[in-house]
Chains A and B, each alone.
Chain A
């Protein structure tokens, strides 16, 4: 009973019940069809004992007579075997960036990322998909094993709640471990600010090459885009500790904004060209609006 109360409290920190009801009937769209492990609600390429008719094929020796289409044999005297689509579950991996840069912002970008991950995980669990949470920074920082069913949502909450602050962002190293550990392909939702000194492209390519359907959700703070800085300051990188003396002028700020905008657009361009869904959201954006409108409009969920 006490555990239930604690879990309920953690849930209220992320979502309210009304929001959960709103997203309960949503599901994550997968353009690809992945091979599932259990029967579920996702279409597979398997033609087996499903309900929905898929196609015919010629009968070969050894096929189950039960699936012969006798009506076609009666008309054409050809033995054709009826094929049915089989529905399986989908693996959805949420790669949540827990690096130091995600600790910034108000609310913290990490908190916002947690909420996005939790919401999407709930959608997945509601659709009997297997949801796996994989936090990362310089490396993988734990893992929530794939879970299935809405009843597992509290595990997701607990796991997200207990995520600790990481260090530097090294996406490539982390994703290399991820693809090595997770052979079951599925959707890989990367929730990050993508502030990786080593670059994000190699890491994303790694996922792409390993046949993961990759979705990128970039979370940033509006203050990162429009910092209220003026005068002589010393910039300190929160992850690397690198220092840089700079005299901030309005002109310089304009150039910085352009650079930030360019960084985001480059990421977006990268994703689009590689057929990856990309979303960019500031932490100031209303969370409900993000899930119910932006993601739906972008074809992320339906």
Chain B
């Protein structure tokens, strides 16, 4: 039993107060009616043995008092509006799923240029306003995340209105399937469940093209098919099992009408593999109209300028006009850019008369030119021209070569000084080639105790950080292609005279494995990055292969956490794994709208962050790590909305038909008890408005009191 009106405590207090008042009125303030009679001696004669305050009369008055107390209690009970637990579930339980993805920011000319989200919110508000007092609603907003804006189910219309009004479109895709699964889970064990989806249907998670018809390829989305020209596609809808089996009523309210859009579907910068000092920027513009359009693409260099609203002065680098066919895209490259700052932006604007771009969110993209410097490498080798050549040929490396006996490494002759000296050197990577690590006569100090990046080529000796055992003519069996060191690496038919089987320890990752055991191993330990190659390169034909410099470049890049491929801007609506300086435990992130998320924890040099807005994000150490050595005060990342799927704003042609959909993994529902089913209509149609019964009881008691009063039974 729950009290939906005034609280139980308040009800008790009111009831107690009224009861006390009635008691006082009855006991202390009871006034008899005065009746004038002509001759009281007649009454006196009959009252000689009759006492007006007899116990029976007192009892009758007590009954009257109890009657009024009962009336009071019933009134208070009605005010408290008690509801049985099962009654609270008498109404429908509805999950309103509202799409807040980027496509919902599309303006609808037919709806007064309101956004689709505003239209959806309007329809959802109408639904909320039409709710009965027993209906309960949970509001789910779905974009790149699924969020419940009401917490649990609620019948508070004000809360729902507030939640609906707070909805804003985000620059993300919609995780619709996850949202529906969440809705289904939320409705578990609830009576009369239903899901109401407000969406433009411009998403593909719930609609798979089975047969796209002429001109469409595999993986084409419904929206893409709609935008294109061709035969009618065959679409397969995917829904949670319970929706298909009608255990949960599902309705899809499609918002939006036919609209066109052009978008920057790709904007990135990449470094040349051969010369990482140079960059190449590319922009991809896509036309989602079903007719050719002209668009103007402008590339900007953003100069920080606090006087502007955006914080940047947009300096035009280049402006060009593009002609785009229906549903086509065009890629533009910009080479050898002379940049005044490391912030770039691209904008596209529709220039075809009579057409309007309905979605602005994807018309601008941002990218950040990464700072890069030459990697300083120290190669400690007794003499290896192949290694030196492979290093020196790379313009990205600044290489120093020393022998193990070099005075730089032994400035004071003592072990401690050597350690300190090495630690203070500006080298980013130290390569130990064919070093023998004896406990008595180590080539240098135990470098692994100094945080840094170390490449061990054919390490030997008991004091070596990698323990090895000799193997003759090892044959390479497998390469871990997922590891950055093995990227583009071809070691097929590599001939090795001899090699070593590296003994791995916990946390080691085997990059190359021979038949006999690990041959190349990567390790992250105590802030250091270590890679061991278990053979001498001069005793193999690797020195004649391009794989040697590739492997060295990959290894250095892995050490320095650089990527040889695209310098990706982050994509909105996803969880980003943002690299942070080693040892930094927490960071603060300020998004493009100025909101700051503080003390985001890091794990293994990365912080996980969900970004929903395009633009530049400023990262800084958390307060407790401020001023940490080797950690910059602030650095930036860029995020773009690069989703061709979401930029395709063509709404769904029809609501998702739950009966035609294909189920995705759901638990089978339990068999219903036929006996319970037989009587379910009784439980479902029984009215339990207790407060109403209380009012009726009060009226009945008042009628009884009136009757007894006028019969003078109780007064």
Contact = CB atoms under 8 A, between A and B. Distances in A.
Interface string A223-255: 010010111111111111010111110001001
Interface residues of B, number: 29
B39 A244 contact: no
A236 B37 contact: yes
A247 B54 contact: yes
B482 interface: no
Contact of B46 (A193, A232, A240, A259): A259
Contact of A245 (B32, B46, B709): B32
Interface in A185-201: 193, 195, 197
B442 to A, nearest CB: 115
A279 interface: no
A277 interface: no
Contacts of A247: 50, 52, 54, 57
A256 B36 contact: no
B712 A246 contact: no
Contacts of A104: 36, 38
B91 to A, nearest CB: 48
A242 B715 CA distance: 21
Interface in B664-715: 709, 711-715
A260 interface: yes
A120 B713 CA distance: 46
B41 interface: yes
A256 B42 contact: yes
Of A235, A252, A255, the most chain B CB neighbours within 10 A belong to: A235
A232 B40 contact: no
Contacts of B110: none
Contacts of A239: 38-39
A236 B713 CA distance: 21
A73 interface: no
Contacts of B41: 197
A263 B54 contact: no
Contacts of A137: none
A101 interface: yes
A230 B52 contact: no
A218 to B, nearest CB: 12
Contact of A246 (B45, B52, B709): B52
A27 to B, nearest CB: 33
B1 interface: no
B45 A237 contact: no
A195 B47 contact: no
Contacts of B715: 230-232
Contacts of A197: 39, 41
Nearest to B49: A255
Given A231-B712, A231-B713, A231-B714, A244 B36 contact: no
Contacts of B371: none
Nearest to B54: A247
Please classify the interface of chain A as helix (H, G, I), strand (E, B), loop, or mixed, using the class held by over half of its residues: mixed
Interface string A40-83: 00000000000000000000000000000000000000000000
A222 B361 CA distance: 97
Nearest to B710: A230
B48 to A, nearest CB: 10
Contacts of A232: 30, 32-33, 52, 57, 61, 712, 715
B34 A101 contact: no
Interface string A251-285: 01001101110010000000000000000000000
A257 B325 CA distance: 114
Interface string A209-223: 000000000000100
Contacts, number: 97
B35 A234 contact: yes
B65 to A, nearest CB: 13
Interface string B587-607: 000000000000000000000
Given A244-B47, A247-B52, A233 B34 contact: yes
Given A236-B36, A245-B32, A230 B42 contact: no
Given A230-B713, A234-B35, A260 B52 contact: no
A113 to B, nearest CB: 13
Contacts of B44: 244
A240 B36 CA distance: 11
B50 to A, nearest CB: 6
A230 B711 contact: yes
Interface in B32-84: 32-47, 50, 52-54, 57, 61
Contact of B45 (A231, A233, A235, A259): A259
A236 B34 contact: yes
A252 B35 contact: no
B43 A235 contact: yes
Contacts of A100: 38
Contacts of B52: 232, 245-247
A145 to B, nearest CB: 31
A233 B38 contact: no
Interface string A163-190: 0000000000000000000000000000
Contacts of B714: 231
A242 B36 CA distance: 10
Contact of B42 (A221, A236, A238, A260): A260
Contacts of A238: 36-38
Contacts of A260: 42
Given A229-B712, A232-B52, A256 B46 contact: yes
Nearest to A199: B41
A248 B46 contact: no
Contact of A234 (B34, B45, B61, B713): B34
Contacts of A230: 711-713, 715
Contacts of B34: 233-234, 236
Contacts of A195: 38-39
B26 to A, nearest CB: 12
A235 B37 contact: yes
A229 to B, nearest CB: 6
A119 B490 CA distance: 147
A47 B40 CA distance: 53
Of B30, B34, B38, B61, the most chain A CB neighbours within 10 A belong to: B38
A69 B54 CA distance: 85
A252 B32 CA distance: 17
Contacts of A224: 37-39
A258 B36 CA distance: 20
A248 B42 CA distance: 14
A199 B30 CA distance: 36
Nearest to A103: B38
B40 A235 contact: yes
A82 B46 CA distance: 64
Contacts of B54: 247
Contacts of B35: 227, 229, 233-236
Nearest to B61: A232
B40 A237 contact: yes
A233 B36 contact: no
Nearest to B35: A233
B287 to A, nearest CB: 94
A250 B709 CA distance: 15
Contacts of B33: 231-234
Given A229-B712, A230-B713, A234-B32, A246 B47 contact: yes
A273 to B, nearest CB: 22
B173 to A, nearest CB: 80
Interface in B280-302: none
Contacts of A229: 35, 712
> Which 3 residue pairs are nearest across A and B when measured between Cβ atoms?
A230-B712, A231-B712, A101-B38
6 contacts: A197-B39, A229-B35, A236-B40, A255-B46, A256-B42, A259-B46
Interface of A: 100-101, 104, 193, 195, 197, 221, 224, 227, 229-240, 242, 244-248, 252, 255-256, 258-260, 263
Given A232-B61, A232-B712, A238-B37, 17 more contacts: A100-B38, A104-B38, A197-B41, A224-B38, A230-B713, A233-B32, A233-B712, A234-B33, A234-B34, A234-B35, A235-B37, A236-B35, A239-B38, A244-B40, A245-B53, A256-B43, A259-B42
